[in-house]
Chain A
Amino acid sequence: MKNFIASIAAVLLLALPGAARAGTVTVKGSDTMVILGQRWAEEFMKKNPNTKLQVTGGGSGVGLSALINGTTDIAMSSRPMKEAEGEKLRTRFNTTGTEISVAKDGVTFYVNEGNKVDALTQEQLKGIYLGDITNWKEVGGPDAPIIVYSRENSSGTYVFVKDNLLNGDDYTSSAQTLPGTAAVVNAVSKEKNGIGYGGSAYAKGIKELKIKKGNEAIAPSAENIKTGKYPLSRDLYFYLRNKPAADAKAFIDFVLSPEGQALVTKVGYFPVK
């Protein structure tokens, strides 16, 4: 019996450094980027079976606070790191962190496909999300109340829209918050007077709003987002505590390689390179 226990202990002790050697890289954060991250991870692990990648969502804020708390190696974020977060990183780990832009995305506004409104100016969208415009007839639609859908405040898309469309002002308090782009799309497809926002999505029952600038209505197309013509486009980031090294570096090199960037297009976002 004693021998048996001793042998098990020996096996465990031997296995420990082995477990540490088989590198595990954790990637956590933006729900917008989860699918993309998982596709990258799958492809990367096919090539490098010795490296394990764990990709989880939760929101950009969740990813960055995990980075600050030291519970993830890479944070995915659909918004730039905030000053307060950088401050925390400095005090905890004495680093400024590394920011790598890995893909581009456009924030699209959706309405129900039965809605006759096709295009809105940024001012009108801002008015709707601040709660100043509450009826569709004010923006050329039917006489019906606007049901505003938004995202939970842990979402990077929420912050992006707040900073880039609302100039940092607060959303109207009657905005209903939903978890994830999928939930917003689903709600708008069921709610004929609804409006929502999120990543590019192709779904039944909704249509993507164009953004009016002068006499032109700019659609959130790949071309317009890549060139930056579409006003609400953004970078998607990876954040690390230090300069990428070892397995994390290999993974990021793969992400930025032509092959990794081809996956970006496949998932429905836009390459940075």
Chain B
Amino acid sequence: MQSEGLVETATVAPRLSSVARRRQIREKVIAGFITAMAFTGIAALVLILVFIAKEALAIFLDAHAREEASLSKMFLPQVVRAGKPAAFVWQPVSSVPKVSMIPLFIGTLKTTLVSMVVAVPVGVAGALFAAEFAPRRMREILKPTIELLAGIPSVVLGFFALMVLASFLQDTFGLTSRLNAVVAGLGLSLAIVPVIFTVAEDALTAVPRSYREASLALGATPWETAWKVVLPAAAPGILAACVLGFGRAIGETMIVLMASGNAAIVSWNFADSVRSMSATIAAEMGEVVVGSPHYSLLFFIGVELFLFTFVLNMLANVWTRRVIKRLSGAGA
């Protein structure tokens, strides 16, 4: 295509200067290099997924593992102690391993839910304030400060949640267990707020000025403009922010490991201690006998986490496309 054109020009003008040719070669090399880089990233992701899936597959292929960790044992209640009702129990290190995923799902759901309930309103409201109402000076201070929050290592946040938040909440509300879903969720929200804030703020500032001017010209107050014009126009970006935050929350390990108490309890009480999927992997991967059913199980949990975020991202993508279509359709 292009190269043919080049050959032709070369025949028409046999003296295509060597400088120009060298430049073309350089361009090609650089383009190739960048392409290679991009594909390396994709290849790495695919290879990681393949590796994790390969380690997890043993659950379905290996006879011994199939017996110990069958799907029914993972997702249906099992009788744990004679004379007790069937229950969901995660106790993989045992003479009779119990491998119910349900307590881990519930634990992950609880901490993620708490963190999203706190972080989404705070992050989005903060972004709206910074983008629409804050005086320029303030905005210049506010933005970098919140983005700095994102740089705090999660170990530090986890330690803060473990020492300060947990004691504070227990003294204030007199909770029975000091470490619980709420403490872990609040610790998580500290890690997610900057993520949501940054992306949402970018989305809000990207809304064309003409929208705001039109709205104000029609007599809307600045508040109405921000709430009913700018926010809906930036909806896809804000949703993307929330999805990013959710992905971070569900996969975050250190904070949950430190501040949730790690007890695999099935209940809807948020003041109970919880054990999340990521914390389970982190806590048990160290001692597990390589190649055992327990080992495959931990990788299987990893695959599940990957699927969760993947499906959520897809749903968000579909929804965003729909919103954009509606917005542009309305414009037309």
Q: A173-B91, A176-B273, A187-B178 are in contact. Are A58 and B283 (CB under 8 A)?
A: no
- Among listed A16-24, A146-154, A199-207, A208-216, interface-contacting one: A146-154
Q: Are B261 and A170 in contact (CB under 8 A)?
A: no
For the complex, what is the distance from the CA of A65 to the CA of B285, rounded to whole Å? 11
Q: A173-B263, A176-B263, A176-B273 are in contact. Are A61 and B287 (CB under 8 A)?
A: yes
Interface residues of B in 45-82 (CB under 8 A from A): 80-81
Interface residues of B in 264-293 (CB under 8 A from A): 264-265, 272-273, 275, 283-284, 286-290
Interface residues of B in 87-118 (CB under 8 A from A): 89-95, 98, 103
B189 surroundings in chain A (CB, below 8 A):
none
A84 surroundings in chain B (CB, below 8 A):
289
Q: Return the chain B residue nearest A59 by Cβ.
A: B287
For the complex, what is the distance from the CA of A145 to the CA of B269, rounded to whole Å? 16
Does A236 reach chain B (CB closer than 8 Å)?
no
Q: Return the chain A residue nearest B273 by Cβ.
A: A176
Does B215 reach chain A (CB closer than 8 Å)?
no
Q: Are A153 and B284 in contact (CB under 8 A)?
A: yes
Q: Are B262 and A147 in contact (CB under 8 A)?
A: no
Give the number of chain A interface residues (Cβ < 8 Å): 32
**Which of A58, A84, A170, A194 has the most B CB atoms < 10 Å from its CB?**
A170
Does B157 reach chain A (CB closer than 8 Å)?
no
Does A190 reach chain B (CB closer than 8 Å)?
yes
A176 surroundings in chain B (CB, below 8 A):
177, 179, 261-263, 273
Q: Are A173 and B262 in contact (CB under 8 A)?
A: no
Does A88 reach chain B (CB closer than 8 Å)?
yes
Task: Show the binding face of B for A, using Cβ within 8 Å.
Answer: 80-81, 89-95, 98, 103, 166-167, 176-179, 261-265, 272-273, 275, 283-284, 286-290
Q: Are B98 and A178 in contact (CB under 8 A)?
A: no
| B contact face: mostly helix, strand, loop, or mixed | loop
A68 surroundings in chain B (CB, below 8 A):
289
For the complex, what is the distance from the CA of A168 to the CA of B94, rounded to whole Å? 8
A85 surroundings in chain B (CB, below 8 A):
289
For the complex, what is the distance from the CA of A263 to the CA of B272, rounded to whole Å? 42
Does A69 reach chain B (CB closer than 8 Å)?
yes
Q: Are B90 and A173 in contact (CB under 8 A)?
A: yes
A–B complex contacts, Cβ < 8 Å, 8 sampled = A61-B287, A61-B289, A65-B288, A152-B287, A154-B286, A170-B94, A176-B177, A191-B178
B261 surroundings in chain A (CB, below 8 A):
176-177
Q: Are B287 and A154 in contact (CB under 8 A)?
A: yes
Produce 1/0 per residue, A81-94, CB < 8 A to B.
00011001000000
Q: Return the chain B residue nearest A152 by Cβ.
A: B283
The 5 residue pairs across chains A and B that have the minimum distance between CB atoms: A154-B287, A61-B287, A176-B261, A153-B93, A177-B262
Does A174 reach chain B (CB closer than 8 Å)?
yes
Shortest beta-carbon distance, B144 to chain A, in Å? 35
A153 surroundings in chain B (CB, below 8 A):
92-93, 283-284, 287
Q: Return the chain A residue nearest B294 by Cβ.
A: A153
Q: Are A65 and B103 in contact (CB under 8 A)?
A: no
Since A154-B283, A170-B80, A174-B272 are in contact, a sample of 16 more A-B pairs with Cβ atoms closer than 8 Å, ordered by chain A residue number, is A61-B287, A65-B290, A69-B290, A84-B289, A145-B176, A147-B177, A152-B262, A152-B287, A154-B288, A170-B89, A173-B91, A177-B262, A177-B263, A178-B262, A187-B178, A187-B179
